[in-house]
Structure 1
Amino acid sequence: MAVQDNMGARAPRASLLNDPVIRGIVYQVLVAGAVVAFISWIVLNTAQNLAAQNKTTGFDFLFRTAGFDISFTLFPWSRTSLYWEAFLAGLLNTLLVAAIGIFFATLLGFTLGIARLSSNWLIARVATVYIETIRNLPLLLQLFFWYFAVLKAMPAVRQSFELPLDIFINQRGLMVPRPMPDHEFTWVLVAIGFSVIATIAVGIWATRVRTATGRYPSAVVLASKVADAIVSFLVALLAFTLLGNMISGVSGAVIFGAAILVAILSVTRLAPFSRAAVAFVFGLTILYALLTAMFPDVPPLLVAAGSALAGLAMAWISFERTAERPPSEGRFPLPLLVLIAVGIPAFVYWATGAQLAFEVPVLERFNFRGGVQLPPELVALVFGLTVYTAAFIGENVRGGIRAVSHGQTEAAQSLGLKEGDRLRLVIIPQAMRVIVPPLTSQYLNLTKNSSLGAAIGYPELVNVFTGTTLNQTGKAIEVIALTMAVYLTFSLLTSAFMNWYNGRVALVER
């Protein structure tokens, strides 16, 4: 019986539509064609509508006179300014709110995230209540609260609350001294930039030597001890000077001698007690000044007693944290870095003879003269965005810390590291790879949420450009396109920076 050999026969060719590669290409071409057709329809339809209304497109309106006022700008503004200057004013106001809000929201958020995991029951519960309450209230409602219920409820100008450092707050906003540097102060600004770079370089170098050898360089340790004494002297001098201003009859010699004593004790085993004393003086004087200004009808003795209790609490916290510090040879040379960051600009300030005067706001009949007046809209928007965004950042930080294996904490404990050092050296660096991605989203949200300032009258980009400029010019397409381009640029730049930072802190697989 003959057997037919089919080994050499070809398999039937599959249909092109069943080929996944060809089918994928077809789908992509169809989707791309649909998108192009949709965009073309929008453009043509818009052009026909504009032609029917005898309207033209273009950005020539940016060079016309605006003819309206802006309540708050970072550069001189008048009705004769141009529309592109209005765009710039709104842009700078938005950047101002975003920069300040991101800075303070990050500090407050990290504090809340760590506090929520604290072993102290009261601190953990307070942080939990704050986060859960703020996260579940609409941001716009919170802005209305801070603006109408808090700032607008402040006293009139003549009954302004006087805060320390010649700062006043009333219904019209916050009045702060205006810095007035001379021409020589430019060298101080250059020195500040140089000192920041030097501080970062010294910190990185000392950390690398510690990683390689197990200890910080001897020169850094010695310089850090000297810097610790100098910084302690300066901080104590400031604290005792504030106390001398509150208590009459204290001479300058006594204040200077007390500061010298604190500096000497800072390099001995009695350092925890000296720092606790300085913390007590700071807590007492600052809180006493704040409470006296905000509640002038409260008896001074009662205010002093409350301030003293707060000072004792700060002294106890300072004593516990200082007593837990490792020996100076094993501590991060923070005093040295602080001295570099502050000492170099201070030396240049003294050597060049630069002057930095402050124009203090002075109350006249109907308003303050001099200083810088921060409108209540700016204060409410910054405060509201900071409080709101910090609650979400706190949850991100808590989740990042929880993501670190508990074995890392046990290993740090076995090495004898205290709780603060465990967080700073072991837990937080590993948690950052989990914290950074959602942290980027919160930065973007804060920047975009600044557009809600239009609801309380703050002249940010949406209020000035998309609101007033659009209504006066009728250039809806151009105005909206520029505004969208600004927020898109903000988002892309922020994401690019945070992605670069995330790449630096991410763990490298081996």
Structure 2
Amino acid sequence: MKIKNSENISFWYDPDKRAIIYQIGTALFVAFIAWYLVSNTMTNLANQNIATGFGFLNKEASFEIGESLIEYSAADRYLKALSVGFLNTLLVSFIGILLTVVLGTFLGIARLSKNWLVNKCAAGYIELFQDIPVLLQLFFWYAFFYEMLPSPRQALNPFGGLFLCNRGLIFGIPAAHPVYKYMALSILLAAVLIFFIKRWAKKRQDATGEIFPIIKVSFLLVLGFPFACWLAGGSPTQMSVPVLTGFNFKGGMAVSPEFAALLLGLVLYTAAFVAEVVRAGIQAVSKGQTEAAMAIGLKPGQLLNLIILPQALRVIIPPLTSQLLNLTKNSSLAVAIGYPDFVSVAGTAINQTGQAIEGVMLIMIVYLFFSLSTSAFMNWYNKKTKLVER
């Protein structure tokens, strides 16, 4: 039977051409729906004399924010108020991700321990925190700080300079000094050097088989550079220690109950899921790999660092990305316990200005930015750790 040339096939019977028509039709339909919704919304807003646009961002906010990483007052504009909320969300998400990865990795490894007590404690933690909704955990930790902890006058003082009360965690910090700025820069310099040393050590190991003690060298650089700057800057030792004056503490640094409750709730909840991801990734590595490594005399630390983790990471990273995204999005529950994150600040702005559409749109854009940034970094790391065929 003779098959006709594709050029002689009728237009409607050519699947490639039909696909183009279907895609154009779908795009036009979506564009029509979008136009209808936008047009209908604008008409209704105009009929109700509700202003539209983002001009309200330049108006005076007229409300205070309890916690801020930058200077802020009620006389500032809505744009700055939203910036405060953005930075607060960024802070709790960044710290939460770091603590979650550390705690989740530890629990995942402990879940595979041959020690019965360690194994069962890790399993109990995972089952407990996975089964309790994160919002309830936030309420619990919020109540813990405000209802179960004493007032500042009866604050718990486990050791000098550290106080725990219903105003949060208050602790001493080094007094302001110019040398600390250079110490922070020295840590960044150490990180850059570690990056290049790690690349050189990998090439050296591939060529000679010799293992360079990169972890020890990294600790030495990260601790040594700031210490050298501290010595060169006169070795300042003055501390800003919290002192009880009236009904609260002055001096030092305070972590508010709202921030502490939010951070604890997010970290403890998400770490339980990360632990299972880590456990599954480690168990995905064939036992033959472990037995072969032990047969050639690798130490337990080398076995974990050189054999198990590099292979397990390829399984761990994709689901880990999802859990980190969940942590970032769950931070929007901060409004339930009074922490001024972006959703809380934007909600106050919406209530005062009536710009609901613009406010919700800003919330969507901010969380889209956080999600895409986290995904981009994790996808880059996943690509970096993938198995490269030779």
| Aligned length in residues | 390
Q: Which residue of 2 aligns with 1:381?
A: 262
Q: Which residue of 2 aligns with 1:84?
A: 79
The partner residue of 1:371 within 248, 252, 255 is: 252
The partner residue of 1:348 within 223, 229, 244 is: 229
- What TM-score do the two structures reach when normalised by structure 1? 0.72
Match status 1:147 vs 2:27: no
Contact 2:179 2:229 in 1 (8 A): no
CA distance in 2, matches of 1:97, 1:177: 21
For structure 2, the 5+ residue unaligned runs are none
Contact 2:145 2:165 in 1 (8 A): no
User: In structure 2, the residue corresponding to 1:363 is in which secondary structure?
Assistant: strand
Following TM superposition, by how much is the alpha carbon of 1:441 offset from its aligned partner in structure 2, in angstroms?
1.0
Q: Counterpart amino acid of 2:335?
A: A
Match status 1:437 vs 2:318: yes
The partner residue of 2:100 within 99, 105, 109 is: 105
CA distance in 2, matches of 1:462, 1:359: 33
For structure 1, the 5+ residue unaligned runs are 1-5, 218-331
Following TM superposition, by how much is the alpha carbon of 1:333 offset from its aligned partner in structure 2, in angstroms?
5.1
Q: Which residue of 2 aligns with 1:131?
A: 126
* Residue correspondence of structure 1 range 46-445 to structure 2 within 5 A: 46-149=41-144, 151-164=146-159, 166-216=161-211, 332=213, 334-353=215-234, 355=236, 357-445=238-326
The partner residue of 1:485 within 353, 365, 389 is: 365
After superposing the two structures, state which structure 1 stretch, 385-394 or 56-65, moved more: 56-65
Contact 1:185 1:356 in 2 (8 A): no
CA distance in 2, matches of 1:216, 1:407: 22
Q: Is the alpha carbon distance of 1:30 and 1:345 closer, same or farther for their aligned partners in structure 2, counting shifts above 3 Å?
A: same
- Answer 1 or 2: higher relative contact order, Cα 8 Å, separation at least 6: 1
Q: Counterpart amino acid of 1:24?
A: A
CA distance in 1, matches of 2:88, 2:173: 18
Q: Which residue of 2 aligns with 1:251?
A: none
Following TM superposition, by how much is the alpha carbon of 1:151 offset from its aligned partner in structure 2, in angstroms?
4.9
Following TM superposition, by how much is the alpha carbon of 1:15 offset from its aligned partner in structure 2, in angstroms?
4.6
User: In structure 1, the residue corresponding to 2:254 is in which secondary structure?
Assistant: strand
Following TM superposition, by how much is the alpha carbon of 1:123 offset from its aligned partner in structure 2, in angstroms?
1.1
Q: Is the alpha carbon distance of 1:164 and 1:336 closer, same or farther for their aligned partners in structure 2, counting shifts above 3 Å?
A: farther
CA distance in 2, matches of 1:165, 1:333: 36
Q: Which residue of 1 aligns with 2:356?
A: 476
Contact 2:53 2:358 in 1 (8 A): yes
CA distance in 1, matches of 2:174, 2:77: 29
- What TM-score do the two structures reach when normalised by structure 2? 0.94
Q: Is the alpha carbon distance of 1:61 and 1:353 closer, same or farther for their aligned partners in structure 2, counting shifts above 3 Å?
A: same
Q: Which residue of 1 aligns with 2:24?
A: 29
Q: Counterpart amino acid of 2:379?
A: N
Contact 1:203 1:337 in 2 (8 A): no
Q: Which residue of 2 aligns with 1:38?
A: 33
Largest Rg, 1 or 2: 1
CA displacement, residues 291-317 of structure 1 (integer Å, 9 cap, x when unaligned): xxxxxxxxxxxxxxxxxxxxxxxxxxx
Q: Which residue of 2 aligns with 1:18?
A: 13
CA displacement, residues 41-95 of structure 1 (integer Å, 9 cap, x when unaligned): 1110111011101122121211111111111111222221211111011001001
Q: Is the alpha carbon distance of 1:354 and 1:485 closer, same or farther for their aligned partners in structure 2, counting shifts above 3 Å?
A: farther
Q: Counterpart amino acid of 1:339?
A: L
Contact 1:188 1:345 in 2 (8 A): yes
CA distance in 1, matches of 2:134, 2:344: 17
CA distance in 2, matches of 1:14, 1:341: 69
Q: Counterpart amino acid of 2:70?
A: F
